[in-house]
Structure 1
Amino acid sequence: MNAKIISQGILRAVGTIGAIALILFVLYQISSIIVYLVIAVVLSLLGRPLIIFMKRKLKFNNTVAVVITICIFLGFFLGLVSLFIPLIAEQGSNLSLLDIDQLRSKVETIYSYTSDHFHIGSTTLEEELEKSQLLNKIDYTFLPDFFNALVSGLGSFGIGLFSVLFIAFFFLRDSKMFDRIILIILPDDWEDHYKNSSLKIKDLLSRYFIGLFAQISVLFVIYMIGLLIIGVNNAIVIAFLCALLNLIPYVGPLIGGGLMILLTMTNYLDSSFSEVILPKALYVLIVVGIGQVVDNFFSQPIILGKSVKSHPLEIFLVILIAGVLFGVIGLIVAVPAYSSIKVILKEFLADNKIVKELTKDI
């Protein structure tokens, strides 16, 4: 191997690394646009069954069906904004989510009330807590950061909403746009496999996202009704936030349940702990339990059984690996991404023994 060949190899390697770095940099710079594209794709998948229904049953042409679907999405989002902006502002004021010190003080007060009520405030325990400063080590910025991100996001909501709906309109109007782009790149002998897998993935993801929306909606209704019956202040906002956290598999329900109990207790610090705070916390715990029973035994089996078509252990391992590699985003996208990969593998590697076993139910 002479010096010329070596130098050419080094130049190709450097060029490849540079090209990859440039692509990653460009993707980082246009990350907001990528987010709009992803949301638009999800909306197009959600609207796809509605458009098919209007075209087949109501005999609407494609453009009219797409416009009606976009108007439905727009009305839904505007309804959420008109409903939640005043409630979120009030909730932020009542719960002092923007004041870390006050939030910490409220949590410490709740702990003190609980310790006194259950007689667990022994000198040894208190001394150990003071030495370890356990309460001070709790990251109280989680709630304010989440809340502030939600509120600040409303500032650019209009631009984002217009961009997403504009992109989604064309995705819905021309559902084969992506297919044509990808088919230009793929070899001719792969076209049939891609067309089959693309159709299956669209159907699968449409069912999955519709099921996920229904799952969150059911949980929100259960939480809202339960909190309203109990008499919790700002029940709608608390129920919405906690139901939304259920999008994060396994961890989300625990965080949502704990958040619901904490927000309820901090709303009644001026009342008697044994007569008001503790009973309301227990009632909220019951509401959380009912919601999770319905979610785990009715909602999730429908979604995982009909859409994902994978073994529960298989799904658990996929979510666990995705969470370790990509964090919270990995937890959320693990199931639809894994299901899409399985469909692709079945189309392109149907004769592989491992692929046959993994995709036997698809």
Structure 2
Amino acid sequence: MPNSSTFLYKLALAFLILLGLYFAKSFLIPLSIAGILAALFLPFCNWMQLKNIPKSVAVLICFISLLIVIGLLLSLLGWKITELLNDITLIKQKSIETGNTIQQYIFNHLNISVEEQFSILKKEQPSYASVFQLIFGSITSVFSSFILVLVYFAFLLFYRNHIKHFLLKMTPTTKREEMQFVIYNATQVSQQYLLGLSKMIVLLWIMYAIGFSSIGVENAFFFAILCGLLEIVPYVGNITGTLLTVLVSAIHGASPTLLFGIVLVYSIVQLIQGWLLEPLILGPQVKINPLFTIIVLVIGQLLWGIPGIILAIPLTAIFKIICDHIEALKPYGFLIGEIECSTKKNSLALRIKHFFRL
């Protein structure tokens, strides 16, 4: 009976946590994004303070650096999207042809005339006022969330020691040394993971750009950046980026050979990523097994939508790090972690590391 009561208590606690995450998403999503970005810039901020730069100036430099990085990414993506929009006539023509084909298929198989189809669509189509209200609301929400992320980012960096001391004060005196060890190790490995993920995305940009350019894909650099950024969402993201590349290339009249080349480039990059980049840059200590990767992606989407999908893996990786350093939570870290059977991958990565050290 005590075991069943404990299980029910843990189940109820997990349900309440998920419920809290759902209802507090407007507050937690900007805070989580800011926390991840702050952890990413923390080594840079600490390095500047070691060089006797005042904390406020170091935080300000990190803040400006973040704005520059975001501005560069948005400018690059905006420039390439503008190039894609120049082909809007071709895309519109292809869309009309596809729509006509679908209408004809519905008429032939379901015996619904084109006029009836238009009538049904008109009934289901929302009014222009509601569409405008939805777009305006979305833009306002994104802008306010972006401002919150920037504010949280600056203050989390500035008050990081204050937050650390708060956690230590909340810990019993006999456990404070252990708590300090957990905070230090979790922070260090979290930084390594986030920096490693950033490095891997940059390397993916380079590999996709070389691959797509060599086979003649139009707007190769845009699709390289897109495929690299979507790597934040494992399995789903890279496949989505490749499918979009294939789809847009097909609309532009790419040959079957070129479409096959895109899939081949994707396969080669994934092979290099899985066997070299992940073991070499990320390491096994923050790897999440495929089962729980899919589970946390689904839960993230259910709780927080698209931001939940993006944040699911980094937050789960950080949670695993914390579990690995707290005795009572180690079973959960083991459960969501990768099975230690990838010795070939790790040995290959170790041989490469050893080669470059020589």
How high is the TM-score relative to the length of structure 2? 0.65
Aligned partner (choices 19, 26, 32) of residue 32 of structure 1:
26
Q: In the TM superposition, what is the alpha-carbon distance from 1:307 to its structure 2 partner? A: 5.0
| Distance in 1, Cα, partners of 2:226 & 2:194 | 19
Residue 191 (str. 1) matches residue 166 (str. 2):
no
The equivalent residue for 1:83 is: 76
Q: Per the alignment, do residues 221 and 184 of structure 1 end up closer, same or farther by CA in structure 2, a change over 3 Å counting? A: same
1:278 corresponding residue in structure 2: 256
**Equivalents in 1 of 2:27, 2:334: separation in Å?**
38
- Partners of 2:294 and 2:90 lie apart in 1 by 31
Name the counterpart of 1:170: 155
Shift of 1:63: 2.4
Query: Partner amino acid for 2:44?
Result: L
Instruction: Look up the match of 1:143.
Output: none
Q: 2:47 aligns with which of 48, 53, 57?
A: 53
Question: Secondary structure of the residue that 2:53 maps to in structure 1?
Answer: coil
Q: 1:321 to 1:35 in 2, by over 3 A?
A: closer
Give the match's secondary structure for 1:252.
helix
Question: How much has 1:318 moved relative to structure 2?
Answer: 2.9
Q: Secondary structure at the match of 2:87?
A: helix
Residues 257, 84 of structure 1: alpha-carbon distance in 2 compared, 3 angstrom cutoff: closer
Q: Which runs of 5+ in 2 are unaligned?
A: 1-11, 111-133, 341-358
CA deviations on 1:239-265 (whole Å, 9 max, x unpaired) are 222222222223332232222222211
Q: Deviations over 1:147-190 (max 9, x none)?
A: xx999977766544433222211211221233344445444444
1:331 Cα deviation from its structure 2 partner: 8.2
Q: Distance in 1 between matches of 2:136 and 2:243?
A: 22
Q: Deviations over 1:310-339 (max 9, x none)?
A: 5xxx62343244345445846853465255
Tell me how large the CA RMSD over aligned residues is.
4.3
**2:293 maps to 1:319:** yes
* Helix, strand or coil at the partner of 1:79: helix
Partner of 1:73: 66
Q: Which amino acid aligns with 1:243?
A: G
Match of 2:240 in 1: 255
Q: Secondary structure at the match of 1:60?
A: coil
Change (3 A) 1:92 1:202: farther
- 2:345 maps to none
Mapped to 1, the partners of 2:316 and 2:292 lie a distance apart of 10
How far the C-alpha of 1:210 sits from its partner, in A, is: 0.9
Aligned counterpart in structure 2 of residue 343 of structure 1, from 310, 322, 335: 322
1:228 is aligned, of 203, 206, 213, to: 213
2:176 partner letter: E
Partner Cα separation in structure 2 for residue 218 and residue 176 of structure 1: 33
Distance 1:158 1:190 in 2: 42
> How far 1:42 sits from its partner (Å)?
0.9
Say which SS state the counterpart of residue 176 (structure 1) adopts: helix
Match of 2:87 among 87, 94, 109: 94
Kindly indicate whether the alpha-carbon contact (under 8 Å) linking 1:249 and 1:331 is maintained by their aligned counterparts in 2: no
Identity level (%): 23
SS of residue paired to 1:249: coil
SS of match in other structure, 2:160:
coil
Residues 101 and 356 (structure 1), Cα distance of their counterparts in 2 relative to 1, 3 Å cut: closer
Q: CA deviation at 1:208?
A: 0.6
Distance 1:281 1:97, change over 3 A: same
Q: Number of matched residues?
A: 292
Residues in 1 aligned to 2:57 and 2:231: alpha-carbon distance in whole angstroms = 35
How far apart, in 2, do the equivalents of 1:219 and 1:102 lie? 31
- Aligned to 1:301, what secondary structure does the other structure show? helix
Q: Distance in 2 between matches of 1:52 and 1:220?
A: 28
Cα shift at 1:40: 1.0
